[in-house]
Structure 1
Amino acid sequence: MKIKIFQNDEQLYNEIKNHIISEIRELPSFNLGLATGSTPEKLYLKLIEAYTSKEFDPSSIKTFNLDEYIGLEESHEASYHYYMQTKLFQHIPFKGSHVPKSTGNPEENVKEYNKLLEENPIDLQILGIGSNGHIAFNEPNTSFLETVHIATLTEKTIIDNSRFFNSIEEVPKTAITMGLKNIMNAKKIILIATGLNKADAIFKTVKGEVTEKVPASILQQHPNVTIYLDSEAASKL
Structure 2
Amino acid sequence: MSTPLTRFTADSLPVEVHPSEADLGRAAAERAAATIRDAVARRGTARVVIATGNSQYAFTDALREQGIPWDRVTVFHMDEYVGIAADHPASFRRWIKERIEDPFAPAAVHYIDGNAPGPEAECARYEAELRTLPLDLVCMGVGENGHLAFNEPHQARFDDDRWARVITLTQRSREQQVGEGHFATVADVPETAISLTVPALLAAASVQVCVPEQRKATAIAATLTEPISPACPATILRRTSHATLFLDPDSAGKLDLPR
TM bucket (normalised to shorter chain) is over 0.9
Partner of 1:185: 203
Aligned-residue offset at 1:166: 2.9
Per-residue CA distance 1:149-203 (angstroms, 9 max, x = gap): 0000000111110220133221111000000111121211111111222112112
CA contact (8 A) 1:32 1:63 kept: yes
Matched residue count: 233
Unaligned runs of at least 5 residues, structure 1:
none
CA contact (8 A) 1:145 1:179 kept: no
Q: Does residue 149 in structure 1 map to residue 165 in structure 2?
A: yes
Aligned-residue offset at 1:11: 1.6
CA contact (8 A) 1:68 1:80 kept: yes
SS in structure 2 of the partner of residue 90 of structure 1:
helix
| 2-structure distance, mates of 1:136, 1:106 | 17
| 2-structure distance, mates of 1:174, 1:57 | 35
Q: Does residue 161 in structure 1 map to residue 177 in structure 2?
A: yes
Aligned-residue offset at 1:21: 0.9
Per-residue CA distance 1:17-67 (angstroms, 9 max, x = gap): 1111111111221111100110111221221343xxxx1210111111110
Q: Does residue 26 in structure 1 map to residue 38 in structure 2?
A: yes
RMSD, aligned α-carbons: 1.3
CA contact (8 A) 2:26 2:58 kept: no
CA contact (8 A) 2:208 2:244 kept: yes
Taking only the aligned residue pairs, the percentage that are identical comes to 26
Partner of 2:151: 138
Partner of 1:46: 62
CA contact (8 A) 1:48 1:88 kept: no
Partner of 1:97: 109
Unaligned runs of at least 5 residues, structure 2:
1-12
| 2-structure distance, mates of 1:198, 1:35 | 16
| 2-structure distance, mates of 1:9, 1:70 | 31
Q: What TM-score, normalized by structure 1, do the two folds share?
A: 0.94
SS in structure 2 of the partner of residue 24 of structure 1:
helix
Q: What TM-score, normalized by structure 2, do the two folds share?
A: 0.86
Per-residue CA distance 1:119-178 (angstroms, 9 max, x = gap): 132211111111110010000012212331000000011111022013322111100000
Aligned-residue offset at 1:206: 1.9
Aligned residue among 53, 59, 76 for 1:37: 53
SS in structure 2 of the partner of residue 91 of structure 1:
helix
Equivalent residue letter for 1:31: R
Aligned-residue offset at 1:215: 0.6
SS in structure 1 of the partner of residue 62 of structure 2:
helix
Per-residue CA distance 1:195-221 (angstroms, 9 max, x = gap): 222112112212321101011111111
Partner of 1:228: 246
Partner of 1:82: 94
